[in-house]
Amino acid sequence: MAAVEGVEITGPRGDRYDEILTPDALRLLASLQRELGPRRAQLLAARETRQVEISAGGSFDFLPGSRQVRDDPAWRVAAPAPGLVDRRVEITGPTDRKMTVNALNSGANVWLADFEDANTPLWENMVTGQLNLKDTLDRTIDFTSDEGKSYRLAPDEELATIVVRPRGWHLDEKHLLVDGRRVSGSLFDFALYFFHCARRQLDKGKGPYFYLPKMESHREARLWNELREHSAGLNAGRWDYLFSIIKKFRSRGREFVLPERNSVTMTAPMMRAYTELLVKSCHRRGAHAMGGMAAFIPSRDPEVNATATAKVRDDKTREAGDGFDGSWVAHPAMVALCKEVFDAALGDRPNQLDRLREEVSVSAQDLLAVAKTPGTITEAGLRNDVSVALQYLATWLGGNGAVAIFNLMEDAATAEIARSQVWQWLHNGVTLDDGPLVTRGLVQRIMGEELDKIRASAGAAFDAPRYDQAVALFTEVALADTYAEFLTIPAYERMP
């Protein structure tokens, strides 16, 4: 790879990396970093200032300064781009070769090619993921696995539309420096995909589409672009919403303590307010409203499958009835069920943008009605949080960011909820509904017991060093007095 002024690659060189890390691509990345990096740093600092205000008793509301924009009925986003008109089923997943082929062939309308929550930012993953996207568009990704299974792309017209999710503004890419400083992970993912694949996508009649995650203000959105002319919609990211509620109000006492995560459903008052306002806001501007994730993955147990499938059907039926234009799944086996539900609601229409939901009225207080959320905080819930977090972190540190645990596909967002709930319960004097006060000692005892269960279940496959790392990381992000804003930041520093 030829040298580019001011750019230093500290990550190892791998097979075909030079096809992605080309001089011209690196020049684009360096240019974006130099232009946008200082503003990104200011916006991340503004998050800290806002958190101080919230912790001191502040709250969120609709900004008075943007009332004129909200009240203006005239403006609309651009018409849906090619490949994004009908989005009734979207599948998410990391960009490894197997997932790339399976997701594109799944029958979903869109594949969210994830460099963020469903991915571990190992240097190898970040570069080979870009290679896989390029190879997909060149139709050279077909391969045969070590087990002898053949993976071949369907014809282009049958493939899902690719939407790339780069990392959030808070994450760095430590293996590439511009002028001696780490480059933004967001800009790394965006620039390399845009440079190599934008023209390829346009030549196929589509375009370079992006899902922009983890933004905490309109100013952060504006750093990407003036999104009014470029927005394809919003997703009801239920896990990120719950994580954000816990994170922002973590030290505000019982009023902002949620029940254990598995008992918080989308029918809770604040979640209903959130989803209904999302549909109304999107459709008023001609943008798609996308439903939340169906995280269930098939089990060998028919009874488990039947129960979970019924819950997924109910969830998707509620979303379709609320006016959503489509929804997310985590596993190809759920595509047909989700499509069946939305087919019944949409019929021959590609979406239901005409459902304006003008009857919906939601206040800021409705969106923050944590205390009205039904549910419990039990020892079983605490154990689930601990076990899921440990299993996820051990696998994440090993290079896999989408992990099947207890018949659910877990990603970084659900792990964030698990560890954040433990931190919040510990630091707000929560007593379990069926047991003692949550203390460090209690959590540490449960950690040991859950680790013993994991070890027994894994048998010879148990990776003791990796779980030692996971225990240390969980202790840091769940039990320390200082709350880590994102577990992926200290976790990333533990990776090569």
Give the separation between CA 294 and CA 271, rounded to whole angstroms.
16
- Which member of 165, 167, 238, 261 is catalytic? 165
* 165 catalytically annotated: yes
Return the axis-axis angle of helices 123-138 and 97-104, rounded to nearest 10°: 40
| CB atoms near residue 241 (< 10 Å) | 19
> CA nearest 10: which of 197, 196, 191, 188?
188
Cα-Cα-Cα-Cα torsion 470, 475, 477, 479, nearest 10 degrees, comes to 160
- Residue length of the chain: 496
| CA dihedral over 244, 250, 254, 255, signed as positive or negative | negative
Give the separation between CA 214 and CA 114, rounded to whole angstroms.
13
Q: Could you tell me if residue 332 is left (phi over 0), alpha (psi between -120 and 50 degrees) or otherwise beta?
A: alpha
> CA nearest 405: which of 260, 257, 262?
262
> CA nearest 295: which of 340, 330, 262, 341?
330
Please name every residue paired with 408 in a beta bridge, in sequence order, or none if there are none: 296, 405
Six token digits for residue 37: 């990096």
Radius of gyration over alpha carbons of the chain, in Å? 22
Give the separation between CA 287 and CA 355, rounded to whole angstroms.
11
Give the separation between CA 446 and CA 417, rounded to whole angstroms.
18
* 322 catalytically annotated: no
Q: What is the DSSP letter of 155?
A: P
- Angle in degrees, CA 325, 327, 330, rounded to 5: 160
Q: What is the full DSSP assignment across 385-432?
A: HHHHHHHHHHHHHTT--SEEETTEEE-HHHHHHHHHHHHHHHHTT-B-
- Which member of 117, 135, 385, 411 is catalytic? 411
Residues with a known catalytic role: 165, 411
